[in-house]
Structure 1
Amino acid sequence: MSTVLAVVAHPDDETIGAGGTLARHAAAGDDVHILVLGDGVTSRYDERTPAAEAEIERRRDRARSAAETLGVDSITFDDFPDNAFDSLPLLELTQRVETALDRHDPVTLYTHHYGDLNVDHERTCRATMTAARPLSDSPVDEILAFETLSATEWSVPSVDAVFQPTTFVDIGDTLETKVAAMEAYADEVRDPPHPRSVDALEGNARLWGHKSGMTAAEAFELLRERR
């Protein structure tokens, strides 16, 4: 049995990026935890009104439902402002991730790709890498970055931003679980041909699967591994 932690910027990122893999870990008996750093809502409002607060809580309720569907052991929420992580000191984000590392002692970390168009994703990756720097007392042996549809593939075309997966996880048995978890975020799901549609989630998993010799897969870029 192992312990894994997914560090994400917004509720639903965990399901879009690594839902099938987290469900596979849970089915195997691993301890699975999620840390959500941002509220995922406030960029849609001019200020933090009671309506915004209510929507934040609704989004968290959906995240809890998705986490339950995936079978994870815990989901924790921070309160950083949506689409404004670049306005915060990196140290503040890093300290929140460090708190989660101290609490869970994960061996494996999943987080966003560093080249994503969404600035919150990019900063989350950097904070995770900083918090999990390879000190002698760190429990973390591997860090893997996932793609987030509508943020990774829409990034600025640059060799510094391209997602280059090196690890493929078989989610043939958990793809339906991933889709069911995503359905908890009904307000965030779009109609085809949008990349955040259920059709796109399923098609992308099957495409990565076909590319790696499986029926369905999630792709990751290995950021660090310690053996």
Structure 2
Amino acid sequence: MSNVIVVSAHPDDEVLGAGGTLLKHVAKGDQVHWLIITNVLEEYGFSAERVKSRQEEIVEVATKMGFTSTIKLDYPTMLLHPGMIIDMVPKISDVFHQVKPETIYVMNRSDAHSDHRVIFDAVVACTKSFRYPFIRKVLMYECLSETEFAPALPERVFMPNYYVDISEYLEKKLEVMEIYESELGPHPFPRSLDNIRALAHFRGASVGTHYAEAFQLIKFIDKQ
């Protein structure tokens, strides 16, 4: 059994990018923790009804995924900027020291959404081996509607080099994704169930499995 944490800028990132892999962790008996950095808040223009429905979605997703814990930092969604990193790092650090994850899943560093990019920098600041000796592996995941829309610059492109066979877990991933009804749309909308399945099919075909999720490994420490 190992401790795993998945970092979401917004609820739905975790299912889109790593849902099948996280379900596989849970099935193996791993403790999977969910860190959500932003939230919808009334003071930033969201209705009380939407705030309530979002919290209900989070609870339902966490239950269906089998997460061990859900931690919310409640930064305002869509308003993150690099100046917030100095405030964000100590909070993420506290979570990491509490959970002691061996494996961290985080959004791609060059996603189109600025929230993703800011959070990536804050998370990576909390992976130094001399301060977080329990961390063994750090992986970036791709997030439909963000990763593929980022500028394809050579130094920033998402380069998958780590694949997880999720053939047994894809249908459950799609079922959980349907909880985020407001985030889905019909094909060719990027976050359609058809597109989620198609990406998993393509990633699986790349490595000889039916369905897979792809990651970019940015750190691996073998202490066995």
What TM-score, normalized to structure 2?
0.94
RMSD value, Cα: 1.6
Q: How many angstroms does 1:137 deviate by?
A: 4.7
1:67–1:181 Cα contact (<8 Å) kept: no
Residue 183 of structure 2 aligns to a residue in which SS? coil
Q: Which residue pairs with 1:48 in the alignment? A: 44
Q: Which residue pairs with 1:128 in the alignment? A: 123
Structure 2 residue 75 is the aligned partner of structure 1 residue 80: yes
Gaps of 5+ in 2: none
Residue 187 of structure 1 aligns to a residue in which SS? helix
Q: How many angstroms does 1:52 deviate by?
A: 3.1
Gaps of 5+ in 1: none
Which AA in structure 2 matches 1:30? D
Which AA in structure 1 matches 2:15? T
Which AA in structure 1 matches 2:23? A
Q: How many angstroms does 1:16 deviate by?
A: 0.6
Select 1:225's aligned residue among 217, 220, 224.
Answer: 220
Residue 44 of structure 2 aligns to a residue in which SS? coil
Which stretch of structure 1 is more off in the superposition, 74-83 or 24-33? 74-83
Superimposed CA distance per residue, residues 35-88 of structure 1 (whole angstroms, 9 cap, x where no aligned partner) = 00001x46xx8x535x53442332121122112111211112111111121164
Which stretch of structure 1 is more off in the superposition, 152-161 or 25-34? 152-161
Which AA in structure 1 matches 2:7? V
Which stretch of structure 1 is more off in the superposition, 180-189 or 130-139? 130-139
Q: Which residue pairs with 1:184 in the alignment? A: 179
How many Å separate the matches in 1 of 2:91 and 2:151?
28
Superimposed CA distance per residue, residues 85-113 of structure 1 (whole angstroms, 9 cap, x where no aligned partner) = 11642121212211210111110000000
Which AA in structure 1 matches 2:31? D
Which stretch of structure 1 is more off in the superposition, 86-95 or 101-110? 86-95
Q: Which residue pairs with 2:37 in the alignment? A: 37
How many Å separate the matches in 2 of 1:125 and 1:71?
24
| Count of aligned pairs between the two proteins | 222
Residue 15 of structure 1 aligns to a residue in which SS? helix
Structure 2 residue 140 is the aligned partner of structure 1 residue 145: yes
What TM-score, normalized to structure 1?
0.93
Structure 2 residue 158 is the aligned partner of structure 1 residue 163: yes
How many Å separate the matches in 2 of 1:84 and 1:161?
22
Superimposed CA distance per residue, residues 92-151 of structure 1 (whole angstroms, 9 cap, x where no aligned partner) = 121221121011111000000001010111111111110112216521111000000000
Q: Which residue pairs with 1:154 in the alignment? A: 149
How many Å separate the matches in 1 of 2:52 and 2:85?
25
